[in-house]
Structure 1
């Protein structure tokens, strides 16, 4: 089996995982909630402002930082957003573990090759 076939198989397993299914369900629920969407749009707009400031060599102003913190608090209070963020964290853990397994196998292979040399 080729590397690409294995990658496709892994991708299919990830898509069929309970963590991914939970993430997609929570994302759909969040997108159906108008309050959640409004909060996300406001937060993304503030994030863009902060990124633009940084790209121009400036630090985001204290007002912008306070606004972002306020929006983050509101997002945590919104049950749909909070559930989505928790599901996203769980899915990210799965992906980190997958990456660690791959990295570990590659590192073990390199160490074996160096030992043989």
Structure 2
């Protein structure tokens, strides 16, 4: 029987060797080196955090919040460095989602067999 933790550690190394991972690392470095893009990115993170806090506290998102979010969305879309970063994130996320589906497939099959029995 294979040691699952050895497999996980190998998977981590394999992810780091993927071009999609290396491309994301390069995109992050480009962001760090572009003051304008870095500022917009930090503004975006702050807005996300404020929205999450409001949601946790049961507070409504105001029209002003929505206006700020729309303006920030335009800044994000108009910045080539951030657009490239978001594209690289999306590509690596696809790989991670595929891995997650493969890892959880045996568990999902167990519960699917339970549901199939209940339907019979």
Give 5+ residue unaligned stretches, structure 2: 115-120
In 2, Cα distance between the equivalents of 1:53 and 1:107?
Answer: 34
Partners of 1:23 and 1:107 in 2: how far apart? 30
CA distance in 1, matches of 2:102, 2:12: 15
CA RMSD of aligned residues (A): 2.1
- Scaled by the length of structure 1, the TM-score of the pair is 0.86
Distance 1:63 1:38 in 2: 20
Determine whether 1:101 maps to 2:91.
Answer: no
Q: What SS class does the counterpart of residue 73 from structure 2 fall into?
A: helix
1-structure distance, mates of 2:40, 2:25: 19
Offset at 1:64?
Answer: 0.8
Alignment of 1:86-97 (within 5 A): 86-97=87-98
1:34 aligns with 2:35: yes
Aligned residue-pair number: 114
- The match for 1:55 is 56
* Equivalent-residue separation in structure 1 for 2:81 and 2:92 (angstroms): 16
Match of 1:24? Answer: 25
